């Protein structure tokens, strides 16, 4: 089962009033398809993404075709494209991307990867970023921690958000409510 199917299942469960899902998952109605494409194209231009980088944005096009942002497990957030309920990609990149890039360059001069964009955060204010190579990188809010948590956005959504990667990263056990949801829906 791919992450798009998992996301649709969770949205359906939320709409049907599933108690745990309503407590640990939140989403927004997706924008119109033409808005998704124009907003992502505009953001790619503003962030001066290379033509190769634009291909890594396809999973975001798929994501925003399903929902305009989400929060899973009481705090892991993917920002909205149009809705500012979860903050917007454009706003967070305008205000924070330069600072994150500068801090990473200072604290990790050995890194050869470049941060393309910030697309989410967690409950501690740590950033979820996309590298020019398409990797998903977790960067501590003081930019002193830098961890590649997935080799692509597809893997991030499928394994980290809706799979066992979340458990590994946050060192959770089977009793965690989000882990219970993932297990109950057959995602683990």
Check pLDDT > 60 for residue 143: no
Cα(25)–Cα(39) distance, integer angstroms: 25
Give CA separation, 114 vs 33, 71, 169, in Å.
29, 26, 22
Give the long-range contacts of residues 147-152, CB within 8 A, separation 24 or more. Answer: 152/56, 152/59
Cβ atoms of residues 130 and 116 within 8 Å: yes
Strands 136-139 and 146-150: antiparallel
pTM summary value: 0.90
Check pLDDT > 90 for residue 86: no
Confidence band of 112 (pLDDT split at 50, 70, 90)? confident
What the chain holds in terms of domains, given with CATH numbers, is 3-184 (3.40.1580)
């Amino acid at each position: 089962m791919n992450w798009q199917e998992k996301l649709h299942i969770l949205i359906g469960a939320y709409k049907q009033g599933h108690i745990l899902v309503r407590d640990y998952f939140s989403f927004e109605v997706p924008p119109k398809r033409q808005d998704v494409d124009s907003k992502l194209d505009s953001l790619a231009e503003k962030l001066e993404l290379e033509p190769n980088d634009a291909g890594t944005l396809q999973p975001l096009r798929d994501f925003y075709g399903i929902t305009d942002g989400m929060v899973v497990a009481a705090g892991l957030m993917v920002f909205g494209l149009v809705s500012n309920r979860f903050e917007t990609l454009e706003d967070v990149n305008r205000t924070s991307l330069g600072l994150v890039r500068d801090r990473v360059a200072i604290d990790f001069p050995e890194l050869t990867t470049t941060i393309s964009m910030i697309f989410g955060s967690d409950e501690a204010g740590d950033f979820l970023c996309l590298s020019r190579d398409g990797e998903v990188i977790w960067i501590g809010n003081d930019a002193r921690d830098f961890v590649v948590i997935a080799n692509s956005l597809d893997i991030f959504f499928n394994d980290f958000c809706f799979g066992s990667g979340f458990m590994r990263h946050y060192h959770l056990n089977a009793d965690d409510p989000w882990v219970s949801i993932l297990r109950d829906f057959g995602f683990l």
